[in-house]
Structure 1
């Protein structure tokens, strides 16, 4: 009897310990590590529930507010959410932040309460001008930010993006773009940070650190996770045409295209990566295990999730023609390393049936689900899934965020030309100014008046639109001679004309998969009668200032010839015209630098400053040599002089570093900022080398008459490249250091690498 009692007691203890151990490993226990919580939850899920954690749908299929602002779900969405979901794209994008926060709390509550394990969903946005949703601070586009050459400023800007997105109930952002863009025909050009690898790397890294709150903001629920895109080579599409093939050498891919993504993974710890729409040298990116697993995970150690671009796994079958069936396409994507299928109903939805025929696929499904669940735990969604609406009221469009948008504008505006010091204009002199042109906004005149004061009088006239502004493929309008004549007459009665020219959201945009939507162009000249307008107004013999607004590089030959001054503003914030006016009237000196080369003709493409030296040996018949304006170019109201370039040693070894310095003096009469740029040229290589490469920059501010010595450190890492054996090498030989104000204006010194 006693022995039986002992046995029963022992069994009871074992049972209690087992239960205790089970409780300790419960995924709801916040004291466990993230990996322990993932491994506790994953085995509980059915196959169908696992696959649900690998799919994202768009809120426009039926997750929206009703007339009273309460959550309304379509039958289709209700059905989808029964098993849970990886995420939902853009819920509440068309309502104000407070309403969105309320809606997303209701949506998240519904999702948690209507799947067996209470798994929350990721709500996903994008960011091209700040959070891509109603009522958030509107910043300039990434290309605009790149012109600031100020990574710290970009980090602060994206910090606001991360905070504002989280406060409206979002968790992930399909941004920033880490693509290198060098073809102005490409309609998405302004979504990226320019043509240069080093500049893009610095901007992408800081954007991700900002939006993720230096990673700490994820678990603290103050920021959102980034999804760097499009991996890899997307900006290099042939003909600048979206969805076209990408043909790029493996060496260029490694040395120029990969670095921004590698920095996103290794330095900024991006939570996500999005695969590229297209192929890469014949291998479809969404079915490329060497790229998505070999490079991204095995080489770089990426631990986050990889999401498809819109419907692109299914397109391996019906567009790319590399899969025999929709099911084969799903298997290709899964095996390559795509963890989440964005939007498609004809791809990962097939996985449960496919596993019945091939049970081994479930191991790959588990691999992907682990990554998705891990992300949700990192973001703290299992423990704190809802937004404090009181914080939303205080945090979105805070005064500090609006001021930051203005600051970013002022550092991003590029003074391309300033003949005879046409700018700045004086506020003190009584002047009549004509504000004219197709890029004039409704509030431009009011913004200029708020800056210039009572001495300046304005007349304003847009004159004409560039397109009919309709549909996915807008059409150019016929020239309106009366409109041009009217603007010329207005300019005749003014002392100065400011022309607002360039392009808009209809002349440069994403070309979607549908044949009825287009956004790429076969020419890069300004469309419509803009050149004619400049010429006719210039013929009046009065000062002509051009404000360029655009989303792709334009071959502005006529504008560059005729205008007395040109301000290149790309696509600024909601305060863009106010900031432009401040530059025009000299409140602030312009300090932006061009993040792209500005070509004279589309026939020069490809045309970026860091091409191989042999590309520059022969120019074209009947075309002036070189670009209109080079990469890194940007004038100032200051007058910066470079002198006394010095290098700490004439030699460097694989174990040592060098310091190179230059003295910069502002000989002008106004405080101003300057971007001091460091380029290095490898004079002799085992493979043909770039003409020069940006390896560093520093933005400085100098008072009138002030000097500063700027010092750069040259490391062996800066000199590495992919050699003839397709491995990274450090080659002995001669190098030239160039420090200056642009990629074409600099002082030089030399050193040798000895091994």
Structure 2
């Protein structure tokens, strides 16, 4: 037995032995990848999609208005199709990764298992030492493959404010991936939202770094508990692209970058132990992340202690030549990326095929290659791929990717994410026998509106021309019909989601006049690269409802006011839309952030009162379509100031907001001490009481503000939270342990800015409340002592303990 195959040796010993045996060509092979695909999404009716996929290693002719436009599942995919190499060439000396065998064509679990096993056998046969490849898949809304449970979008995870639930969901996703032989999942997204117009808002967890970091870390722990490598993306800056445009430059200073965008990633690295990171497509202040040694090596590895692999976002390495123009050719692009600390090229070997040339020209050394290969081999040995008894999963028959367990978790996440924004008492709905409920709007009868852009039905099936979603699910009309059995539920679309067709508005308004209650359902349908109103490459010019939905809403509200009917506005979306002028005219407003396959039942259950809503906004809901900063994390100049500007940036509904069918009181704020040193800690506690008449859950939110700092700081920032479930009359004491590190920021030096993280003396304003704008409990904490520089290993979280008191 070779020493690298012997589990009796340590992982490091096995890696050293194998690395010493590999030739340069074999080392380079471990840094590449292969994507088996054709120009179509696989077989349609009457064909075997796996056989169709296997049949050709050559790309089909592109289709659509631009080359490959209707067929892409990655940016500019068609541009790279022409230069693709077959598996024989790509894996000639071994292979690092296999790309999305399940996720880009409609294959069953059993067929995908067989296809992956066949590819692994081909890879090991071509490898002189029989080294298998790591197989990766997308898994942001669940395993992105045919028939797998579609969980709520990541922005809905944020609305739950429930890290334990998100960890359980991720563990289930990881178990499904592992069951079919997948080793790495390309999730979670830890980008912090800076502009609501960005199409990928739906893939984020929200606009606050602590919320994003806490729930993202929980996802990492859950996925990796199943033995599957989690992958943070997109490191870093992607969400702050200019004007919210996908792949646009990021004109951001180091201080905002370090205080707002980096902390969520640092949490997942240091607290979650994540094993892989994917680079951002962005160039930040002119420096492309794929070539940024300071970020990929100094920050990520030297300061945070990350020891896993950095994988490229798809084709981001050749983009150094074609899009960023910092490399003259693919050889230079590959050399720049590898030297920066980018280990594996995805989705297929392109620039890294020329790494030997990069060594020959002096751009990199073989030692640089060795460093990256060592990380790849460490993963493979940790995954058991080089153990003597390893075999690929050979039998996928009987694997259930949409189990009852999955459905239960999807239901819980959906139910906890639905957010009640306003209610004049019309909710919960208790219709009389025989009453009529009008469900109006384009999202009401389209179950795809419940799914994110990386769900398989929207990611692959819809663009393949299929109307099937591959698994059972009720749209909102069906769910309302099932929920309100004593009422008559009728539907009119009114307008399409995006197309400019107003011919159905008259039918919708007539239905309003004939109904006792109106549910107006508007929002998004996710797609990619312009095929949807939300999703990757589906950016928005402003925050008006898509298409003619705003016009439909005005017409429905006019008709309802004339008829004396109440309107409940239900927004099913991946980003927040401006609701000023509409919300005030509605009896209730409900926000559902792409709630997944169980979303219809969850929304209907909130409307009926079967579910007491406990969702809270992970992102603000704007008042008007433009002129707003897109985040509550604003310094004084970014917030409203009378007489400074005619534009009021304050949201209609703020970050953290959400109502319930019961009431909660927050009382008895107490600090364990009113003064700490710059290296001290304080316990902040308060009591939450369910003062209503039914069980419910409140999210107790702890904020901090720094009224006099050395640089302009946010007026308030979330530093801790706890979701507390209480029975009527029950109370709980919530205790936050806050280290002084939690008040740190990148400050200036004595002469000029040096971007060192500091805690400085002075007053900190602490507050506990129900949202960023509803903070009834206030206290001041004095920090004393000299300015302290906070080094590596700072405290990133705020531990919380909840104790029932009566």
Q: TM-score, normalised by structure 2?
A: 0.84
Instruction: Tell me whether 1:524 sits opposite 2:536 in the alignment.
Output: no
Q: Which of the residues 113, 116, 138 maps onto 1:101?
A: 113
Map of 2:650 onto structure 1: 626
Q: Which of the residues 715, 724, 730 maps onto 2:759?
A: 730
Aligned pairs for 1:191-340 (under 5 A) are 191-213=203-225, 217-218=226-227, 224-340=228-344
Q: Which of the residues 471, 475, 497 maps onto 1:466?
A: 497
Indicate how the Cα distance of structure 1 residues 647 and 366 shifts in structure 2: closer, same or farther if over 3 A, else same.
Answer: same
Map of 1:472 onto structure 2: none
Please say if residues 627 and 647 of structure 2, whose CA atoms lie closer than 8 Å, have aligned partners that are also in contact: no
Please say if residues 577 and 625 of structure 2, whose CA atoms lie closer than 8 Å, have aligned partners that are also in contact: no
For residues 298 and 363 of structure 2, the distance between their equivalents in structure 1, rounded to whole angstroms, comes to 24
For residues 430 and 108 of structure 1, the distance between their equivalents in structure 2, rounded to whole angstroms, comes to 60
For residues 502 and 603 of structure 1, the distance between their equivalents in structure 2, rounded to whole angstroms, comes to 18
Map of 2:566 onto structure 1: 543
Instruction: Tell me whether 1:492 sits opposite 2:513 in the alignment.
Output: yes
For residues 609 and 783 of structure 2, the distance between their equivalents in structure 1, rounded to whole angstroms, comes to 46
Map of 2:48 onto structure 1: 67
SS in 2 for 1:277: coil
Indicate how the Cα distance of structure 1 residues 484 and 646 shifts in structure 2: closer, same or farther if over 3 A, else same.
Answer: same
Deviation for aligned residue 1:320:
0.8
Indicate how the Cα distance of structure 1 residues 344 and 114 shifts in structure 2: closer, same or farther if over 3 A, else same.
Answer: closer
Structure (1/2) with the larger helix percentage: 1
Map of 1:91 onto structure 2: 101
For residues 751 and 700 of structure 1, the distance between their equivalents in structure 2, rounded to whole angstroms, comes to 25
Map of 1:409 onto structure 2: 414
Instruction: Tell me whether 1:128 sits opposite 2:140 in the alignment.
Output: yes
- Cα displacement string for residues 638-681 of structure 1 (whole angstroms, at most 9, x for unaligned residues): 11122222222211224543222222222222211110100011
For residues 350 and 263 of structure 1, the distance between their equivalents in structure 2, rounded to whole angstroms, comes to 35
For residues 735 and 192 of structure 2, the distance between their equivalents in structure 1, rounded to whole angstroms, comes to 28
For residues 683 and 518 of structure 1, the distance between their equivalents in structure 2, rounded to whole angstroms, comes to 39
Instruction: Tell me whether 1:139 sits opposite 2:151 in the alignment.
Output: yes
Runs of 4+ in structure 1 deviating by more than 6 angstroms, as ranges, are 62-66, 389-392
Note the residue ranges of structure 1 that are not aligned, 5 or more in a row.
Answer: 1-22, 219-223, 468-476
Map of 1:54 onto structure 2: 31
For residues 528 and 728 of structure 1, the distance between their equivalents in structure 2, rounded to whole angstroms, comes to 46
For residues 614 and 353 of structure 1, the distance between their equivalents in structure 2, rounded to whole angstroms, comes to 52
Q: Which of the residues 438, 441, 447 maps onto 2:479?
A: 447
For residues 688 and 366 of structure 2, the distance between their equivalents in structure 1, rounded to whole angstroms, comes to 62
Instruction: Tell me whether 1:645 sits opposite 2:664 in the alignment.
Output: no
Map of 2:500 onto structure 1: 478
- Cα displacement string for residues 194-229 of structure 1 (whole angstroms, at most 9, x for unaligned residues): 11010011011111001111xxx42xxxxx101101
Deviation for aligned residue 1:565:
0.9
Deviation for aligned residue 1:168:
2.1
Aligned pairs for 1:362-381 (under 5 A) are 362-381=366-385
Instruction: Tell me whether 1:744 sits opposite 2:773 in the alignment.
Output: yes
Aligned pairs for 1:350-749 (under 5 A) are 350-358=354-362, 361-383=365-387, 385-386=390-391, 393=398, 396-419=401-424, 421-426=425-430, 429-442=433-446, 443-453=475-485, 455-467=486-498, 477-480=499-502, 482-506=503-527, 509=528, 518-539=537-558, 540=560, 541-618=564-641, 623=647, 626-725=650-749, 726-746=755-775, 747-749=777-779
Map of 2:88 onto structure 1: 78
Q: Which of the residues 3, 6, 19 maps onto 1:42?
A: 19
For residues 673 and 349 of structure 2, the distance between their equivalents in structure 1, rounded to whole angstroms, comes to 62
For residues 365 and 95 of structure 2, the distance between their equivalents in structure 1, rounded to whole angstroms, comes to 20
Please say if residues 691 and 729 of structure 2, whose CA atoms lie closer than 8 Å, have aligned partners that are also in contact: yes
Map of 1:6 onto structure 2: none
RMSD (Å) for aligned C-alpha atoms: 2.3
Map of 2:8 onto structure 1: 31
Deviation for aligned residue 1:392:
6.8
Deviation for aligned residue 1:121:
0.7
SS in 2 for 1:188: helix
Indicate how the Cα distance of structure 1 residues 386 and 445 shifts in structure 2: closer, same or farther if over 3 A, else same.
Answer: farther
Instruction: Tell me whether 1:165 sits opposite 2:177 in the alignment.
Output: yes
- Cα displacement string for residues 109-164 of structure 1 (whole angstroms, at most 9, x for unaligned residues): 23223321111111111123111111211100111111000011111111111111
Please say if residues 679 and 695 of structure 1, whose CA atoms lie closer than 8 Å, have aligned partners that are also in contact: yes
SS in 1 for 2:199: coil
Q: TM-score, normalised by structure 1?
A: 0.89
- Cα displacement string for residues 463-485 of structure 1 (whole angstroms, at most 9, x for unaligned residues): 33123xxxxxxxxx2232x3101
Please say if residues 496 and 542 of structure 1, whose CA atoms lie closer than 8 Å, have aligned partners that are also in contact: yes
Deviation for aligned residue 1:292:
0.8
- Cα displacement string for residues 356-390 of structure 1 (whole angstroms, at most 9, x for unaligned residues): 44496211111111111111111112226445567
- Cα displacement string for residues 12-56 of structure 1 (whole angstroms, at most 9, x for unaligned residues): xxxxxxxxxxx6x62111211111111111222222222111112
Instruction: Tell me whether 1:152 sits opposite 2:164 in the alignment.
Output: yes
320-329 or 67-76: which moved more?
67-76
- Cα displacement string for residues 412-462 of structure 1 (whole angstroms, at most 9, x for unaligned residues): 00101112x111011665421111101112533222222223x12111222
For residues 97 and 529 of structure 1, the distance between their equivalents in structure 2, rounded to whole angstroms, comes to 40
Instruction: Tell me whether 1:349 sits opposite 2:373 in the alignment.
Output: no
Please say if residues 597 and 608 of structure 1, whose CA atoms lie closer than 8 Å, have aligned partners that are also in contact: yes
Indicate how the Cα distance of structure 1 residues 119 and 723 shifts in structure 2: closer, same or farther if over 3 A, else same.
Answer: same
For residues 752 and 260 of structure 1, the distance between their equivalents in structure 2, rounded to whole angstroms, comes to 27
SS in 1 for 2:210: helix
For residues 49 and 352 of structure 2, the distance between their equivalents in structure 1, rounded to whole angstroms, comes to 36
Please say if residues 745 and 758 of structure 2, whose CA atoms lie closer than 8 Å, have aligned partners that are also in contact: yes
For residues 685 and 621 of structure 1, the distance between their equivalents in structure 2, rounded to whole angstroms, comes to 24
For residues 359 and 691 of structure 1, the distance between their equivalents in structure 2, rounded to whole angstroms, comes to 47
Deviation for aligned residue 1:69:
5.5
Indicate how the Cα distance of structure 1 residues 67 and 479 shifts in structure 2: closer, same or farther if over 3 A, else same.
Answer: closer
For residues 585 and 387 of structure 1, the distance between their equivalents in structure 2, rounded to whole angstroms, comes to 48
Map of 2:63 onto structure 1: none
Map of 1:11 onto structure 2: none
For residues 362 and 736 of structure 1, the distance between their equivalents in structure 2, rounded to whole angstroms, comes to 53
83-92 or 148-157: which moved more?
83-92
For residues 744 and 361 of structure 2, the distance between their equivalents in structure 1, rounded to whole angstroms, comes to 48
For residues 195 and 347 of structure 2, the distance between their equivalents in structure 1, rounded to whole angstroms, comes to 29
Larger Rg: 1
For residues 608 and 688 of structure 2, the distance between their equivalents in structure 1, rounded to whole angstroms, comes to 25
Indicate how the Cα distance of structure 1 residues 388 and 459 shifts in structure 2: closer, same or farther if over 3 A, else same.
Answer: same
Please say if residues 188 and 510 of structure 1, whose CA atoms lie closer than 8 Å, have aligned partners that are also in contact: no
- Cα displacement string for residues 218-267 of structure 1 (whole angstroms, at most 9, x for unaligned residues): 2xxxxx10110111111111111111111212112222211111122112
Please say if residues 654 and 771 of structure 2, whose CA atoms lie closer than 8 Å, have aligned partners that are also in contact: yes
Please say if residues 547 and 566 of structure 1, whose CA atoms lie closer than 8 Å, have aligned partners that are also in contact: yes
Note the residue ranges of structure 2 that are not aligned, 5 or more in a row.
Answer: 58-85, 447-474, 750-754, 786-806
For residues 487 and 172 of structure 1, the distance between their equivalents in structure 2, rounded to whole angstroms, comes to 47
For residues 61 and 156 of structure 1, the distance between their equivalents in structure 2, rounded to whole angstroms, comes to 35
Count residues in correspondence.
706
Please say if residues 306 and 338 of structure 1, whose CA atoms lie closer than 8 Å, have aligned partners that are also in contact: yes
Deviation for aligned residue 1:561:
2.1
Indicate how the Cα distance of structure 1 residues 40 and 438 shifts in structure 2: closer, same or farther if over 3 A, else same.
Answer: same
